[in-house]
Structure 1
């Protein structure tokens, strides 16, 4: 978890997308910057180490970020596996962003580590029990599970998080 004051309990975050005042930003979009991430199939090597991979989150650009957002939170999920299908089952990664810029490129974050660049942190660990820390890359063993991300533009201050916009991104099947 980030060492700054961004710590957020899982109980609070689980309700993040349903907070009163949450805005669905029709203009906020996410672009996968690596052509290997086509939204249909998880690229070779991007699976978890248990299945021979060295997976990382995809490099993404978020566009149409609302004014006032200072953090992007990304929930990674395996929609086909109930225990990890919602609320960041594969981990929640946080990114500091420049306020007012309107777009941000989110670095690719390696799986199974909590050692990350400045301005990037693990907001919540994955909920699997295989001993992986931080973000858990796709780990279904090639069974065709559907992986996705929910991207939240938030305003963080001393009172906590306020969701300004959210969007959904299909990452592909593995």
Structure 2
């Protein structure tokens, strides 16, 4: 559900929404990818966490959170939040960040935590759904940010 005023944008100019920045792909293909840092504004009242659901829109099995879902704790009453970059392919997450849903990788692609783009440069489109949730886990608002192609 979209909500007027709920917005997310890149906090690092290397991320332009057109092309995934160099090196921000999976370790299997020589990268050391991390989530893009995001600035989120217009948080609805009652938001306790922001979930980032990472997608490969081109490859259906990895769409709808296929690259993992991370949760970022939000201070009570906050109307905005700055979400830091989180390294991919690791279970070692920063304080205040949790793994909500593991990525859907398997075989040689299997990795813990967030799975950075891993299409081998085939031109797949990657995105993140930014979801404000309350203490009960109910979705309050959502918006999508295109990460770019890789």
> What TM-score range do you get, normalising by the shorter chain?
over 0.9
Aligned length: 148
Question: Is 2:141 aligned against 1:152?
Answer: no
Runs (4+) of structure 1 exceeding 4 A deviation are none
5 Å matches for 1:1-174?
Answer: 23-86=1-64, 88-129=65-106, 130-156=109-135, 160-174=136-150
Q: Which runs of 5+ in 1 are unaligned?
A: 1-22
SS in 1 for 2:82: strand
CA distance in structure 1 between the aligned counterparts of 2:60 and 2:115, rounded to whole angstroms: 15
Query: What is the Cα deviation at residue 148 of structure 1?
Result: 0.2
Q: TM-score, normalised by structure 1?
A: 0.83
SS in 2 for 1:50: helix
Q: State the Cα deviation string for residues 89-131 of structure 1 (Å, max 9, x = none).
A: 0000000011222000111111111111111011111001122
CA distance in structure 2 between the aligned counterparts of 1:169 and 1:26, rounded to whole angstroms: 15
CA distance in structure 1 between the aligned counterparts of 2:4 and 2:95, rounded to whole angstroms: 30
SS in 2 for 1:147: strand
Contact 1:66 1:100 in 2 (8 A): no
Q: Which runs of 5+ in 2 are unaligned?
A: none
